[in-house]
Every structure is written in C-alpha cells, then in structure tokens.
C-alpha cells in the first residue's frame, strides 16, 4: 500500500510505531502533487519547502519523545480563503492574486499547534461563491473520481486534493454547503459543525451569519479528528462559542459498537424531499440509506416542513446582502488588485473592482446592493430575515421530537465540467445543504458505497451544539454500509 493511501489516523499509528517518517510521507504526497496537479488543479499554492521543514520538525519531536499534537505529521490542504501567515491567500480571485497575508488565522494557528503539516492552499470558487470551482480565477478543479466532472464547490480544491491523495485531511468553509457538497461529489466525508464552533478569525468572510469552517476526511473518524483540532472558542471571533462539547469518547475501533449508535435514533425526513423529482441514482441511494437506518434500529418518520421550500431564495437574499457589504472592503486602496491607469480615485475604485472581480462575485454584489437599498430593504431583506426565523423555528420544533433530519446531500450527481448552467440552475443544487447554515445546525455528508466509480452523499443535519450526535450516527451508518 502506498503511504498516501493511508488515512490520517493510520498515518499517526505508523509514526508511533516508527514504520515510516513524516518526511517520507510528505515527500510521497509532494510526488503525488507533482504528478497529478496538471490534471486535477486542486491547489493554488503548493508549500513544498515549508511542508518538508515542518515534517522534519515533527520527526525530531518523535525522536526526542516530545509531546505531540493530535494532528502530528498529517499533511493538510487549507482552502485559500483561510489565512496562513506569510503565504499567498488569493480566495481564487484576481483581486488577491498576489496578496501575501501577514498573520495566521485561528485555524492555521491550531493546525500548527497540533503539529500538522500544511502542504498547500486549495482552489475554490472565487470568494467561495459557487458550487463547481468554475468561478475560480485559477481554473476549475477536476473530480479525482472522474476528471470530466467538477469536484464541487466552493471548497472543490480541498475535496479534490484529498480525493487525489494530494493531502490526508483538508479544511474547507461552508456558507451554504461548500464542504458537504464537494465531499459528496468526491466520495468523502465532510462536516459543517454548529455555527460558531470553529473561530472565523483570519478567514475571508463571505456571509458572516452563515459561514463556518468545514472538515474533510476520507472517513468519519478522520474528519472528526480534524474538527476536534479546530473547534473551540477564541476571543478574536465574537461569534465563536465554546459550547460544542466534543467530550464523549467515540469508539472508532469497533464496527459492532458503531452500528449500535443507530439504534433508537429518531430521524425525520421532510415530505417535500420524498415528493421531489430527484436524480434517479440519488433517489435509489437515498432509499437504500433509509433502509439501512431502519434495519439498524433507527425510527424514521416523514414530517411536514413547509418552510424549507423557501430556503434557496431566502439564502440568496440574505447572503447577497452580507456579501455586498463584505466585498466593499476590496477598494484597491489598502490591498488587492489596483488598476494601472486612472485619473480620479473614483475611477480607480471602479476600474480596480471591475477588473479584479469575476462575474459571479459582481452578480452577487449587485443583487445585494439592490436589495439593501433604502426603498427595497423592507420588501426583500427584512422579509427574508423573517422567513429565516420561521425556518429556524420549524427546525427547532422538529428537533424537539427528533435527533436529526436525513436527506441526500445534493439532489444531482456531479456536474460535467463542460455543462453550461445558468446561475439559478446551479443555486438549485444547494437545496439540501442550505438549511444547516440558515439555522446554525451541524451537518455531515457521508458517502454511499461507490457504483460505476461514483458515490452519492447522504446528509444528516442535527441539533445545534450536538455535533457528536450526528457524527456518531454517521459513523454507525458508515460501518453499516462498508
């Protein structure tokens, strides 16, 4: 078995037994990157030298029997909207093409503290707006399962890097599904924890009240390990919370015990999801998943959840409002792309922003600015806020009687790279992932077994601060279908 095929927790066991060194592992990964990147395009920046240097430090610590962090020696890919000190952070935008960030995000501080090896910055949709990475200034990331397909988005580079064995764990962000959707497209596990659980300090904001950091792993255990390293309060993010207690000891070593986690779970499925016209392969896999949960003792009930029919429109009104104000900081005055020729400051702002942003970002800024304007805010923005409250209340009601909501992660299979899609068609694919961001709930995508080389993701959305509940259920499910 190649070292890059090992999952993160097995790498750690290998280091502990001195089966191989961290430097050997990192060099294998860099070799993979060299061989595959031309085709896959998962990274915007590969940090080869830094990675080897960190690997040597980890090896030294092992040799000296020093205390090591929980990610010791694990090569990690980090989405390019997350600051890593003295490394370029482009958000896959021309606007930040040459921007080297002078400080660490909380995420990268924690990755370093836990002795992981940051191996590179991964490609994404420009400023995380999209579902394919096709809005990236640096081109699309291809799906390692089938390179004629997209890897998903916006954290498509993170999923592609992990799927192509160009890293062993990957960090993403998730505003409306950007970790779970690419995880589903690439046959991986993706977790979006409860809103506020991973501090956002040092992460380029798309929509403040929706954004969360996401964790990718080859399986539930790996994705959970990364989440453990990253979660926990930090005072530099006022919305971060110490409340997600990942304190239960989850036993990953025993399949039978894992399957026990499904027993007596109360799971809701919205009627609308059953009635929908899903892709037939997605529908088949969803039905199989329902059978697995039932067989292992979970109780499944179909419920009415009327408000979810409004999630896509509500999401776009609210996020575009937040996006328009967040993107205002890119004025070309302090940092970022500046146009070459201009006579007035106004012309400089206009030209720099026109040149620096791609179409999808511009579209969202324009819609956001429009709906926030004085005479329209009442009709759109404030109304959407009220709908968000209704959606939240409906979920709270469901969570009084049920532990979690079950659905496919995405209603369709991965898109073809050359498929032409209108923005609205692309937005429709976020139907199942948006509610967790709208309500702040934790959610996880777990792959069904592959068929014809592709896999369909199944999603569990749980109660806020009860992240472990869905993680245990996902583990039980993963072990039931393996």
Measured from the CB atom, the residue of 146 and 360 that comes closer to ligand GLN is 360
Measured from the CB atom, the residue of 14 and 177 that comes closer to ligand GLN is 177
* Binding map of ligand GLN across residues 133-172, x = CB under 6 A, - = no contact: ---------------------x------------------
Distance CA 393, CA 307 (A): 9
Tokens 């764990």 locate to 169
Distance CA 117, CA 53 (A): 9
Binder among 26, 44, 46, 128 for ligand GLN (CB under 6 A): 128
**Which pairing describes strands 169-174 and 212-217: parallel, antiparallel, or unpaired?**
antiparallel
**Does 178 qualify as catalytic in the annotation?**
yes
* Binding map of ligand GLN across residues 413-432, x = CB under 6 A, - = no contact: -----------------x--
Tell me the residue nearest to ligand GLN as measured from the CB: 178
Residue 143, SS3?
Answer: strand
Measured from the CB atom, the residue of 127 and 395 that comes closer to ligand GLN is 127
Q: In the Cβ-directed half-sphere of 132, how many Cα atoms lie within 13 Å?
A: 27
Q: Helices 311-327 and 381-401 sit at what angle, rounded to 10 degrees?
A: 130
156 within 8 A of 150, measured Cβ to Cβ: yes
What ranges in 64-215 are assigned the alpha helix state H? 106-113, 156-163, 180-186
157 within 8 A of 77, measured Cβ to Cβ: yes
Binder among 163, 176, 182, 442 for ligand GLN (CB under 6 A): 176
Measured from the CB atom, the residue of 176 and 462 that comes closer to ligand GLN is 176
Distance CA 296, CA 288 (A): 13
Q: How far is the CB of 319 from ligand GLN (least distance, A)?
A: 6
Q: In the Cβ-directed half-sphere of 444, how many Cα atoms lie within 13 Å?
A: 33
Measured from the CB atom, the residue of 72 and 91 that comes closer to ligand GLN is 91
Binding region for ligand GLN (CB under 6 A) out of 35-43, 124-132, 385-393, 438-446: 124-132
Binder among 14, 75, 130, 193 for ligand GLN (CB under 6 A): 130
Q: How far is the CB of 5 from ligand GLN (least distance, A)?
A: 29
Q: φ, ψ for residue 29 (rounded to 5)? A: -65, -45
* Binding map of ligand GLN across residues 381-420, x = CB under 6 A, - = no contact: ----------------------------------------
Binding region for ligand GLN (CB under 6 A) out of 51-59, 123-131, 160-168, 337-345: 123-131
CB atoms within 10 A of CB 316: 22
Binder among 55, 82, 101, 206 for ligand GLN (CB under 6 A): 206
Nearest to 4 by CA among 146, 166, 170: 166
Number of residues that bind ligand GLN (CB under 6 A): 12
Measured from the CB atom, the residue of 109 and 125 that comes closer to ligand GLN is 125
CB atoms within 10 A of CB 103: 12
Measured from the CB atom, the residue of 30 and 203 that comes closer to ligand GLN is 203
Strands in 299-303's sheet, in edge-to-edge order, are 43-46, 117-122, 75-79, 169-174, 212-217, 189-192, 443-447, 457-462, 404-408, 266-270, 299-303
From 36, 61, 79, 192, active-site residue: 79
Distance CA 410, CA 393 (A): 24
Q: φ, ψ for residue 2 (rounded to 5)? A: -70, 145
Distance CA 198, CA 203 (A): 11
174: contact with ligand GLN by CB under 6 A: yes
From 92, 154, 197, 445, active-site residue: 154
Binder among 77, 120, 157, 177 for ligand GLN (CB under 6 A): 177
| Residues that bind ligand GLN in the complex, under the rule CB under 6 A | 128-131, 154, 174-178, 206, 430
Active site positions, annotated: 79, 154, 178
């Amino acid at each position: 078995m190649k070292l890059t095929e090992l999952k993160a927790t097995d790498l750690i066991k290998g280091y502990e037994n001195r089966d191989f060194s961290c430097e050997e592992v990192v060099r294998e990964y860099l070799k993979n990157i060299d061989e595959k990147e031309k085709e896959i395009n998962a990274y915007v920046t590969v940090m080869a030298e830094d990675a080897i240097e960190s690997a040597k430090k980890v090896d030294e610590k092992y040799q000296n029997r020093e205390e090591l962090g929980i990610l010791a020696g694990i090569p990690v890919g980090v989405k390019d909207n997350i600051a890593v000190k003295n490394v370029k952070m482009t958000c896959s935008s021309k606007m930040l093409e040459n921007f080297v960030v002078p400080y660490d995000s909380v995420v990268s501080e924690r990755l370093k503290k836990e002795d992981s090896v940051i191996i590179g910055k991964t490609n994404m949709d420009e400023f995380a707006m999209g579902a394919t990475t096709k809005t990236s200034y640096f081109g699309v990331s291809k799906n390692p399962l089938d390179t004629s397909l997209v890897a998903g988005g916006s954290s498509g580079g993170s999923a592609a890097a992990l799927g192509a064995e160009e890293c062993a764990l990957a960090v993403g962000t998730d505003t409306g599904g950007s970790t779970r959707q690419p995880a589903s497209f690439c046959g991986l596990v993706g977790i979006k924890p409860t809103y506020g659980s991973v501090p956002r300090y040092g992460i380029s904001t798309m929509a403040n009240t929706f954004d969360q950091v996401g964790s990718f792993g080859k399986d539930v255990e790996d994705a959970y390990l990364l989440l453990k390293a990253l979660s926990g309060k930090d005072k530099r993010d006022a919305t971060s919370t110490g409340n997600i207690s990942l304190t239960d000891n989850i036993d990953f070593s025993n399949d039978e015990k894992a399957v026990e986690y499904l027993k007596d779970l109360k799971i809701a499925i919205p009627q609308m999801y059953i009635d929908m016209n899903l892709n037939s392969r997605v529908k088949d896999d969803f039905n199989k998943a329902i059978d697995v949960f039932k067989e292992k003792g979970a109780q499944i009930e179909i419920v009415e959840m009327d408000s979810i029919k409004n999630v896509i429109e509500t999401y776009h009104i609210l996020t575009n409002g937040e996006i328009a104000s967040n993107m205002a900081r890119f004025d070309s005055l302090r940092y970022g792309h500046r146009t070459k020729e201009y006579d007035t400051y106004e012309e400089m702002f206009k030209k720099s922003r026109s040149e620096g942003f791609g179409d999808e970002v511009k579209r969202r800024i324009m819609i956001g600015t429009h709906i926030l304007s004085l005479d329209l805010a009442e009709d759109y923005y404030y109304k959407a806020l009220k709908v968000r409250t209704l959606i939240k209340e409906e979920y709270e009601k469901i969570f009084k009687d049920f532990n979690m909501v079950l659905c496919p992660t995405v209603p369709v299979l991965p898109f073809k790279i050359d498929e032409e899609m209108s923005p609205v068609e692309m937005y429709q694919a976020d139907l199942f992932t948006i509610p967790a961001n709208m309500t702040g709930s934790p959610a996880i995508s777990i792959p069904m077994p592959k068929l014809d080389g592709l896999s369909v993701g199944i999603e569990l959305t749980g109660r806020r601060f009860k992240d472990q509940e869905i993680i245990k259920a996902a583990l039980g499910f993963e072990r039931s279908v393996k």
